């Protein structure tokens, strides 16, 4: 599914083209997403000028003077810029028209995403932890929140109450680079090692954003282009292959019903 780097890549790709423009129309072709698209949404946004496109965790917010639309890409969603002459595809469920020659289409084969409206705060954002690339997130926070916690450290850093946006791919990579086994109890890890882990989380996410995200199935950015961070993956998806450090075989286990690849020699 699109993770934080993919969502941020999408935001950076579409914002320069649509921010400051007036919404001429919003067409809903299928409202049956994870939560139904509000029937009144077209009337809420039509004629309004889009003031900003912001990201919080894996959500995008289209900010208007009277409120904001909250968009989540779900498992398979994408937002693509298009010209009106481009044929609409089967799973193009929403279509924002910003000018006579510019559309933004929301495409989602699995329909696990959402597009919701609020004139105030969105309740979906209320319990979220800090952004991983912000000063509010560091190793001290991880260490303090992990005390007496027995769940696996990978599950701990993937919890949005701990820090947002560290999904399966980037948690696997950060733990590999920090030399920490993904199944270690969160409360058993030292302050120093959490400082290293926080540094690696920031580095992995920043590098993935720079490379346009990780394309493993069908993620593309706002211009229909794939991300290239998959070429830099050290652990994720490499079970049975040689560790880039010790050259021993990488192993796979399941944590919280998710695949976790690690090196039994380099990670402890």
pLDDT in tens, 86-135: 999 999 999 999 988 999 999 999 999 999 999 999 999 999 999 999 99
Residue 244 lies in a domain: yes
Residue 133 lies in a domain: no
pLDDT, residue 199, reads 98
Q: Which of 68, 99, 125 is the last residue of a domain?
A: 125
Residues 210 and 158 in one domain: yes
Secondary-structure breakdown of the chain: helix, strand, coil percentages, each rounded to the nearest 5: 30, 25, 50
Residues 109 and 152 in one domain: no
Residue 130 lies in a domain: no
What is the DSSP annotation of 42-83? HHHHTTPBP-EEEEETTEEEEEETTEEEEEE-TTT-EEEEE-
* 149 belongs to an annotated ligand binding site: yes
Task: Look up the CATH number of the domain holding residue 84.
Answer: 3.20.190.10
Is residue 258 among the annotated active site residues?
Answer: yes
Task: Look up the CATH number of the domain holding residue 169.
Answer: 1.10.8.50
pLDDT, residue 232, reads 74
Residues 70 and 162 in one domain: no
Range(s) of the domain holding residue 156: 139-262
Q: Out of 11, 58, 80, 238, pick the active-site residue.
A: 58
Residue 131 lies in a domain: no
Mean pLDDT to the nearest integer, 80-90? 93
Query: What is d(CA 81, CA 1) in angstroms, rounded to the nearest whole number?
Result: 20
Does the pLDDT at position 83 exceed 70?
Answer: yes
Query: What is d(CA 59, CA 165) in angstroms, rounded to the nearest whole number?
Result: 10
pTM (two decimals) = 0.87
Residue pLDDT, tens place only, 200-229:
999 999 999 988 755 433 334 444 444 445
Residues 120 and 144 in one domain: no
Residue 168 lies in a domain: yes
Average pLDDT, the chain: 92
* 17 belongs to an annotated ligand binding site: no
Residue 185 lies in a domain: yes
Mean pLDDT to the nearest integer, 174-182? 98
Q: Out of 34, 202, 258, 265, pick the active-site residue.
A: 258
Residues 145 and 238 in one domain: yes
* 72 belongs to an annotated ligand binding site: no
Residues 80 and 176 in one domain: no
pLDDT, residue 1, reads 67
Residues 143 and 258 in one domain: yes
Question: Among residues 188, 185, 184, which one has the least CA distance to residue 268?
Answer: 184
How many domains does the chain fold into? 2
Is residue 2 among the annotated active site residues?
Answer: yes
């Amino acid at each position: 599914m699109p993770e934080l780097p993919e969502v941020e890549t999408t935001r950076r790709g579409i914002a320069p083209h649509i921010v400051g423009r007036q919404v001429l129309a919003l067409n809903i072709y299928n409202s049956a997403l994870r939560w139904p698209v509000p029937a009144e949404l077209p009337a809420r946004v039509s004629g309004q000028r889009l003031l900003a496109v912001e990201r919080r965790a894996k959500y995008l917010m289209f900010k208007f003077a009277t409120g904001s639309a909250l968009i989540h890409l779900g498992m398979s969603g994408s937002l693509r810029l298009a010209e009106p002459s481009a044929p609409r595809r089967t799973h193009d469920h929403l279509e924002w028209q910003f000018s006579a020659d510019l559309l933004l289409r929301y495409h989602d084969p699995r329909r696990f995403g959402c597009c919701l409206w609020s004139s105030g705060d969105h309740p979906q954002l209320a319990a979220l932890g800090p952004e991983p690339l912000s000063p509010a997130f560091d190793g001290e926070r991880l260490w303090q929140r992990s005390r007496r916690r027995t769940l696996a450290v990978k599950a701990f850093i993937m919890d949005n109450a701990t820090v947002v946006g560290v999904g399966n791919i980037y948690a696997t990579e950060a733990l590999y680079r920090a030399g920490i086994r993904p199944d270690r109890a969160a409360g058993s890890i030292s302050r120093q090692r959490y400082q290293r882990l926080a540094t690696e989380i920031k580095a992995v996410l920043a590098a993935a954003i720079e490379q346009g995200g990780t394309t493993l199935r069908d993620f593309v950015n706002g211009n229909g282009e794939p991300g290239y961070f998959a070429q830099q993956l050290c652990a994720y998806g490499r079970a049975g292959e040689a560790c880039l450090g010790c050259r021993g075989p990488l192993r796979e286990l399941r944590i919280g019903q998710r695949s976790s690849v690690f090196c039994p020699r380099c990670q402890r």
